[in-house]
Amino acid sequence: MVCQIGAWVADTLVHAPLARWAQTRAQVVAIDDGQTALTFAQLYAQVQRQADELKCNQAPETVFVDDQLSTMAQMVSFLAIITSGRCAAVSDPDWPSAVRQSVQNSFSTAASMPPEPTPTSPFYIGFTSGSTGTPKGFRRHHRSWTESLRVCIETFGHDAASTVLAPGRFSHSLFLFGMVLGIWSGAGVVVQERFSASRMMETLKQGRTPCLVAVPSQLLLMLDLAARRNMPPIEGVRLVLISGARWMRDRTAELQALLPNARIVEFYGASETSFMAWMDADASAPPHAVGKPFSNVEIDIRHPQEPLGTGQIFVRSPMLFMDYVGSQTDPTAAVRDRDWLSVRDMGYFDAHGFLCLVGRENRMIVTQGKNLFPEELEAALMACPGIAQASVHGIADPIRGQQVVAVIQMNTTDPWVTAQQLSAVCRTQLESYKVPKRFFVCTDWPLTVSGKTDHTALAKALPCLPPLL
């Protein structure tokens, strides 16, 4: 299902198009979880009923979406909260009870009667992991997302305004955005309660979801499953939007063969910034490139250092978040400079105008008086045959300042690799100070809820991990 582009242009509130679709696309499925489906008319009726209850009960200015509900019920609740003029807080179902209670207690429970929402009214609070382990809340206003939705469809055309498959958690801002995109465009969204590569492929084969929003780990699991089952190409996918972690571009040809009619796009962004840059996934692209800025984004590289001009990436756009909720002391927090913002990523522009991402400032390792960004070394290691995952760390060293070590996960299909072999490969690609002094093996690789490597968990586990011989 593809909706006519342009109908939503004047909408400045995230929930605004729903009322129109309830009239003009009443019987079109708005959200489908594989068991139950709601049309736009049904979704609108449920949203209005819950919104009226919130108003009558004078609910607080911020209302938490119950993360124990189904994804469909969470979406209804989310839309009802923001329709009522309140701000929807989206928690993580995996939070320990003590963390959950602490976060919720930090918000006022006082009765409220907020005014009608405006484009700059807060509508959503999401949470990311802070360096202290305490979730860090980020607050967004309506315009930051309506601009994101607009530029997404402007950039990627009709395929971005088609029915979306968002096979991830409601608490993950990428998948929440994908769900809202489907409802915003009037084409609808298909969701999964729990991610399953086989179920994702079955949905795609039905041809109902031309647009897929996914993180790299989901796509890799799908590719591995397709290879094991010798599955034929899936013809109905027209657009794949990849974010959340670096896509392994050497798998692009394999993904393109499975989805032959799809445009495969990777984009760079953050919870605090929305979209920043994008590019078509291309195995021949520079390894550090993350794309060129979106049409409504400006990027500035601050304090560039030779030889590449690497500096801290600052962005200015109408899609930036409002502020953090709670403590501002987290060293991983974004940095503001008036209307510019940095999420502490380091990078440079290459000769072709591509933004190249070197690494995160707070992951930087200083060894032998030189700066090392783990992401560069991790990419080199994961390009080695036999390596499925890599995580690079700095441990205290009285001579070097920090000693570089790497944790790896072996590829089960090609597990034979030695520390000496990995060192030799690294020396052919990197300066000597970047070569790990020791390698460790982790078989049970930890991931965050967003599908990224949990580097913090691996750092804590380092003393207990066996060395690679």
Residues in the chain: 469
Rg value, the chain, Cα: 23
pLDDT for the residue numbered 363: 75
Token readout for 430 is 């990197």
Contacts (Cβ under 8 Å, ≥6 apart) of 179: 31, 71, 75, 164, 166, 170, 189, 191
> Tokens 């783990």 appear where?
374
- The ranges assigned to domains in the chain are 16-295+318-327, 364-464
Number of Cβ within 10 Å of residue 358's Cβ equals 19
The CATH class given to the 364-464 domain equals alpha beta
Which CATH code of 3.90.45.10, 3.40.50.12780, 3.40.1350.10, 3.30.479.10 fits the domain covering 16-295+318-327?
3.40.50.12780
pLDDT for the residue numbered 77: 98
Contacts (Cβ under 8 Å, ≥6 apart) of 141: 119, 120, 121, 122, 123, 322
Helix pair angle (71-83, 40-56), 10° resolution: 60
Per-residue b/e over 8-30, b at no fewer than 16 CB within 10 Å?
Answer: beebebbbbbbeebbeebeebbb
Helix pair angle (16-24, 40-56), 10° resolution: 140
pLDDT for the residue numbered 2: 54
Please list the residues that pair with 408 across neighbouring strands.
Answer: 390, 441
Q: How far apart are the C-alpha atoms of 79 and 14, rounded to whole Å?
A: 9
Q: How far apart are the C-alpha atoms of 198 and 234, rounded to whole Å?
A: 13
User: ∠457-196-235 over CA atoms, to 5°?
Assistant: 125
Taking only the tens place, the pLDDT of each residue in 280-319 is: 998 888 888 999 999 999 999 999 988 889 999 999 999 9
Number of Cβ within 10 Å of residue 58's Cβ equals 11
Which among 230, 170, 226 is positioned nearest to 198, based on CA atoms? 226
Q: Which residues of the chain have pLDDT under 70?
A: 1-10, 129-134, 327-332, 361-362, 368-371, 398-400, 412-415, 449-451
Per-residue b/e over 255-293, b at no fewer than 16 CB within 10 Å?
Answer: bbebbeebbbbbbbbbbbbbbbbbbebeeebeebbbbbb
Taking only the tens place, the pLDDT of each residue in 2-35 is: 555 455 555 899 999 999 999 999 999 999 999 9
Q: How far apart are the C-alpha atoms of 140 and 387, rounded to whole Å?
A: 39
Q: How far apart are the C-alpha atoms of 388 and 224, rounded to whole Å?
A: 12
DSSP state of 281: -
pLDDT for the residue numbered 22: 97
pTM given for the model: 0.81
pLDDT for the residue numbered 454: 85
